[in-house]
Amino acid sequence: MKKITEYENKKVLVLGLAKSGVSAAKLLHELGALVTVNDFKQFDQNPEAQDLLTLGIRVVTGGHPIELLDEDFSLIVKNPGIPYTNPLVEKALSMNLPVLTEVELAYQIAECPIIGITGTNGKTTTTTMIGLLLNAQRKNGTARLAGNIGFPASEVAEVANAADDIIMELSSFQLMGIQTFHPQIAVITNIYEAHLDYHGSREEYVKAKWAIQENMQESDSLVLNWNQQELQELSKTTKATIIPFSTEEKVAGAYLIDGEIYYRDEYIMLANELGVPGSHNIENALAAICVAKLKNIPNSVIRKTLMVFTGVPHRTQYVGELAGRKFYNDSKATNILATKMALSGFDHSSLVLLAGGLDRGNDFDELIPSLKGIKAIILFGETKDKLRKAAVEAGIKTIQLTENVQTAVREAYAFSEKDDTILLSPACASWDQYPNFELRGEAFIQAMHQLKDIEK
């Protein structure tokens, strides 16, 4: 990593822990900053804070006292999940105190190029595809995944060297806390309406996503979804060189024509050769192909790599087959749009859908067209009655209500037949019954394996 000196003997407040906060605190401490960590969780229930204290880092736990700002901090590094409406954050901003996120620190110390990926849906799949493509037949260095995908960006930047690439998945929350962050290649997979409870308006959400290109120049490449008119309009406001991708028209980048994928007139592969189903995954692959071509990956390597890629955990992940039934885990589908995209990749006549979860107050009318023709639907969680109404409107003949994901798997298996597909794609957040979507997905997989044990 670059040995920077700008934080030496400066007082820095790290607000909120979790993975990125711990990494930021340790990095700043190593860079000579006088670090104070503030986390809402009580100290005796906070192993991360306890660990940092043993390193000589000051910790303040059990709340976010505004009085901390009396201590003349030079800046705050904020956990992305803490909203800007937090009183301490609001006060800091009113004092013109810089409020950064950990990805800004990662950029400052990174020795190697950064490829940034953002968007409403498809970020993790696209990030993973790019990592695999850039590591295929690589002779020098490593493409390292980082950011919102689960590996703290600053932690990855510390160990990366000049021969590497950092492939960084970036949320809108993270991008709101950048100043100088500058990827050499950036990707926006798509922009839909999301996280309005955090951003306050769609305009602010789009502004946060578009910040990924804020410091890019003409020598940098910005990969955009040309299916979206909004991104076409935004492209007129950047200095970066635009590399478009589209499933609807031929463009000066990656595109789909008659079931075949091309990059600037070069044939790459058939769309149905991709190892993951769904039209949304064709878009993800096109975005990844743009990056691969910019990094001079041969077409044969692109094709071979994308043919064997079967998805990432909890994102239309194929998890196995039992008695002729295929099981797919799409627990990451925490909103209606993600479930619509997942449903587009399957034959509805043999599909049993498992859905439901946290009730955020919305209805599911928007989902109705995508539900039509589905063989059966098993519903659970707080939204099961709302989803049942949508399923009735869609004309689904078999609708069952159950307790949770585990019971839904058992009921789906009992109803289904050979050659059917059982898909968990909840269209809702998990927090009514599960701490996160990952644990919900693990419950689905575990329930399937329990069935396998019974069938032996």
Digit-coded pLDDT (tens) for 2-30: 989 999 999 999 999 888 999 999 999 99
Looking at residue 200, its pLDDT comes to: 75
Looking at residue 359, its pLDDT comes to: 93
Looking at residue 267, its pLDDT comes to: 98
Residue among 303, 236, 230 nearest 263 (CA): 303
**Sheet of strand 398-401: strand arrangement:** 317-322, 325-329, 421-424, 351-355, 376-379, 398-401
Looking at residue 265, its pLDDT comes to: 96
Distances (CA, A) of 149 to 74, 261, 313, 432: 29, 27, 11, 23
Contact partners, residue 198, CB within 8 Å, separation at least 6: 83, 172, 173
> In this model, does residue 196 exceed pLDDT 70?
no
The band of 456, judged by pLDDT with boundaries at 50, 70 and 90, is low
Looking at residue 19, its pLDDT comes to: 86
Looking at residue 130, its pLDDT comes to: 98
The band of 455, judged by pLDDT with boundaries at 50, 70 and 90, is low
Looking at residue 57, its pLDDT comes to: 96
> In this model, does residue 71 exceed pLDDT 70?
yes
On whether the CB atoms of residues 257 and 290 are closer than 8 A, the answer is no
> In this model, does residue 347 exceed pLDDT 70?
yes
Note the pLDDT tens digit of each residue in 374-422: 999 999 999 999 999 999 999 999 999 999 999 999 999 999 999 999 9
CATH numbers and ranges of domains, the chain: 11-100 (3.40.50.720), 103-308 (3.40.1190.10), 317-455 (3.90.190.20)
The band of 194, judged by pLDDT with boundaries at 50, 70 and 90, is low
Residue 54 vs residue 193, higher pLDDT: 54
Strands 376-379 and 398-401: what pairing? Answer: parallel
Task: Give the residue carrying structure tokens 């306050």.
Answer: 200
DSSP 246-258: ESSS--SSEEEET
Mean pLDDT of 235-258: 98
pTM: 0.81
The band of 314, judged by pLDDT with boundaries at 50, 70 and 90, is confident
Mean pLDDT of 247-276: 97
> In this model, does residue 364 exceed pLDDT 90?
yes
Instruction: Give, for 203, the enclosing helix (H) or strand (E).
Output: helix 202-210
